[in-house]
Amino acid sequence: MFVLNAFTVKGYGEAEYWFAMIKVATVVIFIIVGFLVDLGVFGHDKIHGRNWNIDGAPFYKGFAGVITTSIVSGFAFQVN
């Protein structure tokens, strides 16, 4: 990074573009792999939607569970 920044702004900008593209591609790949694991393509156990209904999961008590989870998440991200 130092070498790219030391020579030209164009080189630094180009490298930053590709690094950002790698980060976005990585997030998309992790989301796809997560769905494939849930569907049972990877691994030996087909999870499907079981983990969404266990105690403490977002959809445990239907829509009220979603609201409760959102309130807890909002509290966790509060700034003092």
Instruction: Give the pLDDT confidence score for residue 78 in this predicted structure.
Output: 84
Which pTM value belongs to this model? 0.55
Domain count along the chain = 2
Q: What is the pLDDT of residue 5?
A: 64
Query: Which residue range is the domain that position 29 belongs to?
Result: 1-48
**Are 54 and 42 found together in one domain?**
no
Query: 55 and 44, same structural domain?
Result: no
Return d(Cα 63, Cα 60) in angstroms, integer.
Answer: 9
Which tokens hold the place of 79?
A: 């700034």
Shared-domain flag, residues 8 and 42: yes
Question: Within this chain, do residues 19 and 5 fall inside the same structural domain, yes or no?
Answer: yes
What pLDDT score does 3 carry?
A: 72
Judge if 37 and 64 occupy the same domain: no
The total of other beta-carbon atoms located within 10 Å of residue 74's CB is 9
